[in-house]
Structure formats: structure tokens, C-alpha cells
Amino acid sequence: MVEEIGSTAAGDIIINVGPQHPATHGVLHLVITINGETIQKVEPHLGYIHRSIEKMCESLTYRQFIYVTSRMDYLSSHINNHACALCVEKGLQIEVPSRAQVIRVLMDELTRIASHELWWGAMAMDLGAFTPFFHAFREREAINDIMEETCGARLTMNYMVPGGVMQDIHPNFQRRVKEFIALFKSKVNEYNELVTGNIIFQNRMKGVGNLSAADAISFGCTGPTARGSGVSCDIRKLYPYEIYETLNFEEILETGGDSFARYMVRVREMSQSISIIEQLIDNIPEGDFQAKTKAVLKLPKGEFYQRVETARGEFGVYMVSEGGTTPYRIKYRSPGFSNLSALDHMARGSKLGDLVAMMGTLDLVIPDIDR
């Protein structure tokens, strides 16, 4: 147990960052040991927003438990729901109609862009620039409007159901997505002018928070955090689900391993998601949006695992069924938890201001870490 107040024998000061702190974007508690401005140790204390979602899911039916997962990583709720729906479909061996598959992928990629937009704004805000946050929200708002029309919700969409999606897309969907693509393309240069190309920003990001490829693997980092260190780990490429193998997109890899590399991965990923949406938006096949399923779903006895690529990394659902109407055991593998564990390694020896920048590039969503 760390002594919360006071200082160590070496003259280091111990500071509690959080659970209420502007930089943690939630109730994360970091106990940091600093010497002057130099960080000696970072110790994350978790559990402030633990809601025992896994246990909750075990008492809900296979149709119901999907909705709870929207509350984990609330910025990519579609993709969480998607993983759970895929897992149930795997157990029941349901064939999902191709229209539903395309809609799901479209929604996933829109969610990924929305999540990266928010991250981009929050990242700049961590570094003391407030304006990018509002600029990012302008584009994110357009996505939220699309979601609102089709799913009926803006944040916790609950749109994926076992066998497809809950309802068909709104008649305006295609038009508004195209409008969004045009808007995004006209504004993406603004991002580079305002933040990426800024000399202060580059000096703050380059060479700090170094994470080697070997360390990224040993800490279990996934998603843009690991891809910034050159580790190929995009689940959409390595273990394709839905129609991802038929799509033409590239896995973004940066070799820098520093905060700037992680930043660039996410910024470039937004353009890749746009290209995926462009490939699909005019080619949504006709047909059912949902497969015919029984009213009460019962998975056969066994273990099922499904992984997907969320905006933050690899999200896995491990489900054990005893043959009943509710799962016997559910375990989620959330990307934020593993990514956070690399923070101590990255932060040692750097300045206090860099810690905030590193936490920004890890793109932490606290309910995803604690569940």
C-alpha cells in the first residue's frame, strides 16, 4: 500500500492524480511519485467505476445482455454490441443477411470515426489547446445525427441484435453519410493545420512516451497504441469478421513508438474508415436486415470467443454456455485495461506534462477499463 500523503525518503513527492482530475477523463486514480517535475513511478488505482457488468450480463438473456455492453466503452458502443452479437451468432450458427452485415460494418466505421474525433479533441485539450475540441465535435455531431436517425440514440445505440440489426436504416441514411464524408474531407486539413503541423504540438509529442514493439506485445497493448509501435494487430485484417476481408483498406502502422506515432495512427485511421464507408455506402444490398431467430435464444453447451477491433484495440467476448437462456460465464477482454498497464513503463523519467500527453495517446475510456 502506497503512503498516500507525504513524501518518500529520497525526497520524492507522491501526488494523487484523480479520481477527480481534468486529465483522466473519468474516475481513474493515478498515484504518481515525482521528483521535481520528473516522474519516478505511476501506479493506476482502478475500481472507481466498477459496475460488475460481467456479472450483470450473466443474469440477462442472450438478447438482453448485449445492451449492457454499450455502457462499457461508451465511445464505441456499436462495436461492443457487434462483438456480443457475433458471439451469440457463432453459438447459434445463425447466417446473418448480407444487408445486415454491410449496415453493421458501416455503423462500426462511423463509430470508429466518431470515437477518434472525440479522442483528437480531448488529446489536444490535454495539451492545453481547447479549440480543436469544438472543431472535432462539429464533425462528430454529424455522425451522432446519423446514428440518432437510424438507431434512435446518439451514444448507447443498442442497434445490433443477434441475427442482424434492430431495424432497417433510415431513408435519409445514405444521403446523410455522403454529406458527412464531404464535410469530413473538407475539414480534415483543418486538423492538420491546427494541431498536427503545430510546432509546439510536435515538440510535445515526438520522443515522449516511448514504447518499443517488444514492450507493446508484452504489456498486451492492442489497437492504435500497439500499431504506433509497429505491431501489426488489426483484428479486421488478422481475424476478419463480417465482410472485412472483402474490403479494401490498409492497416495503419507507424514505427516511431512515441506519442506522435500513436497520434498519427489514429488520425490516419480516420481516413481509412472513410474509405471503407465510401466502398459500402452505395453498395448496400437489398434484403432482410435481420435473420429469422427464435423468440428465446438458447446457446448450445460450450465456450465461445469472438474478438473485434474497437476504436481502442482488441475487444474480446468469452462466453461459457451451459445450454440455458442466460450465459453461464462472461468475460470481456477490454483494450483499455492492457493499454493502461503500459503507462508506468512509458512515463518513467519523463515530465509531468508528458504524462498527460501519454494518457491522451492511450485513448483511455475509464468505464472500459473498470467495467
What is the contact surface with other proteins in residues (CB under 8 A)?
A: 13, 15, 21-23, 37, 124-131, 133-135, 138, 194-195, 198, 200-201, 203-204, 351-356
280-295 core/surface letters (b: 16 or more CB in 10 A; e: else) = bbeebeeeebbbebee
CB of 127 to other proteins, least distance (A): 4
CB of 353 to other proteins, least distance (A): 4
Query: Closest CB to other proteins among 196 and 341?
Result: 196
* Distance from C-alpha of 215 to C-alpha of 125, rounded to nearest angstrom: 28
CB of 200 to other proteins, least distance (A): 5
CB of 228 to other proteins, least distance (A): 19
Torsion of CA 92, 106, 316, 256, to 10 degrees: 160
* Distance from C-alpha of 365 to C-alpha of 80, rounded to nearest angstrom: 13
Q: What are phi and psi of 321, to 5 degrees?
A: -115, 140
Strand partners, 44: 30
Query: Closest CB to other proteins among 82 and 204?
Result: 204
Query: Closest CB to other proteins among 166 and 188?
Result: 188
Query: Closest CB to other proteins among 87 and 357?
Result: 357
94-129 core/surface letters (b: 16 or more CB in 10 A; e: else) = bebbebbbbbbbbbbbbbbbbbbbbbbbbbbbbbeb
CA angle 69, 116, 265 (to 5 degrees): 120
CB of 203 to other proteins, least distance (A): 6
Q: How buried is 3 (Cβ within 10 angstroms: 0-12 exposed, 13-18 middle, 19+ buried)?
A: exposed
Question: Residue type for 24, please?
Answer: T
* Distance from C-alpha of 164 to C-alpha of 83, rounded to nearest angstrom: 12
Query: Closest CB to other proteins among 131 and 255?
Result: 131
CB of 22 to other proteins, least distance (A): 5
CB of 207 to other proteins, least distance (A): 11
The count of other CB atoms within 10 Å of the CB of residue 327 is 27
Query: Closest CB to other proteins among 112 and 135?
Result: 135
Residue indicated by cell numbers 472513410:
274
Query: Closest CB to other proteins among 76 and 361?
Result: 361
Helix axes 259-281, 352-362, angle to 10 degrees: 20
Strand partners, 318: 305, 331
* Distance from C-alpha of 299 to C-alpha of 218, rounded to nearest angstrom: 34
CB of 252 to other proteins, least distance (A): 23
CB of 213 to other proteins, least distance (A): 26
Question: Residue type for 244, please?
Answer: Y
CB of 4 to other proteins, least distance (A): 12
Q: All 3 cell numbers of residue 20?
A: 477527480
Query: Closest CB to other proteins among 291 and 352?
Result: 352
Query: What residues contact residue 52 under an 8 Å CB cut-off, 6+ apart?
Result: 371
Query: Closest CB to other proteins among 331 and 351?
Result: 351
Query: Closest CB to other proteins among 194 and 320?
Result: 194
